[in-house]
Structure 1
Amino acid sequence: MRSSRPLAAAVVATAFAGAVLLPAQAQAASGSVHLYKIYYDSPGKDTGSNASLNGEYVQIKNTTSKGVSLKGWVLSDASNHKYTFGTYTLGKGKTVTIRTGTGKNTATTLYQNRGAYVWNNDKDTATLKKSNGTKADSCSYNSTKVDYKMC
């Protein structure tokens, strides 16, 4: 009977070829700031009221191990409606909700202060860009069967 150890060692070596192993601290620091959920069709009829406008929103989640400043970051849709973040830090492991209508900004909810809907009820693409213009994330949907998309 022949030993399978050399074969097993070759398989393991091949599996790790090209893989980058990070120190434990670097692995813990990995994560991202990304689009989490788009609630694109607010509940009920689209009346244009502030309550209806605020029924559509985007959530952004920080899965890194530290707070991230979103100052100057831009959230946009396919029609190039843009929301630019002012001074705001998204804490580690936290989620922020960006509502379309007006309201008082809090640590967990920000408002675009718009008087019209942004997110199409059938299909659209949300894009999140860092303050330097590089794309952090994007998320698309193409459905009228549900009112939201988990990104």
Structure 2
Amino acid sequence: MRHRKAATAAALAIATTAGGLGGLVTAAPASAAGSVHLAKIYYNSPGSDNRSNASLNAEWVQIKNSTSRAVSLKGWKLTDASRHVYTFGTYTLGAGRTVTVHTGKGRDTAAHRYQNRRAYVWDNTKDTATLTKASGARVDSCGYNNARRSYVTC
């Protein structure tokens, strides 16, 4: 492993000196800086769909902050293809943290937010989650088309 790192560093130094990779060496890919993104959607809660609060809360979306800084999600929106909208109030997602947005009712915490709905949001076979900033700029989307599974990793 050590030999491979040394060889890669040497090749990079030679290419940079020769002008071959100059711009790429100083500019890291956007994904390396991290992002706030949809991580997982659990769209088909276990058991029968009886609209109990426990069943509604077993339907959720996880949002991950993979940056090295906290990000305010105030005014950000999570929507599905049918245009159900959950809007974050005053809320900050810590660096490296994940928040789970449940469909049903509950008490909001740093790790769990609740839409306070009495009906399901996420279709059991096909849907798309979209996360947008308060400005309306799209941050991320994640779709699925699979009735055999209960969740999708985005």
TM bucket normalised to smaller: 0.7 to 0.9
Stretches (4+) displaced over 2 A: 16-23
Query: Where do residues 30-41 of structure 1 align in structure 2 (5 Å cutoff)?
Result: 30-41=33-44
Partners of 2:19 and 2:129 lie apart in 1 by 40
Query: Where do residues 88-127 of structure 1 align in structure 2 (5 Å cutoff)?
Result: 88-127=91-130
Q: Residue in 2 aligned with 1:64?
A: 67
Q: Residue in 1 aligned with 2:148?
A: 145
What's the CA shift for 1:136?
0.3
- Which residue of 84, 87, 99 corresponds with 1:84? 87
Q: Please, what TM-score do these two structures have when normalized by structure 2?
A: 0.83
Q: Secondary structure at the match of 2:54?
A: helix
CA RMSD of aligned residues (A): 2.4
Letter in 1 for 2:85: K
What's the CA shift for 1:79?
0.5
What's the CA shift for 1:90?
0.2
| Structure 2, unaligned runs of 5 or more | 1-13
Q: Residue in 2 aligned with 1:5?
A: none
**Per the alignment, do residues 20 and 138 of structure 1 end up closer, same or farther by CA in structure 2, a change over 3 Å counting?**
farther
- Which residue of 21, 43, 47 corresponds with 1:44? 47
- Which residue of 19, 43, 47 corresponds with 2:24? 19
What's the CA shift for 1:30?
1.5
Q: Please, what TM-score do these two structures have when normalized by structure 1?
A: 0.84
Q: Residue in 1 aligned with 2:133?
A: 130
What's the CA shift for 1:21?
2.4
Letter in 1 for 2:55: S
Structure number with higher helix proportion: 2
Letter in 2 for 1:81: H
What's the CA shift for 1:20?
6.5
Q: Tell me the matched-pair count.
A: 139
What's the CA shift for 1:146?
0.9
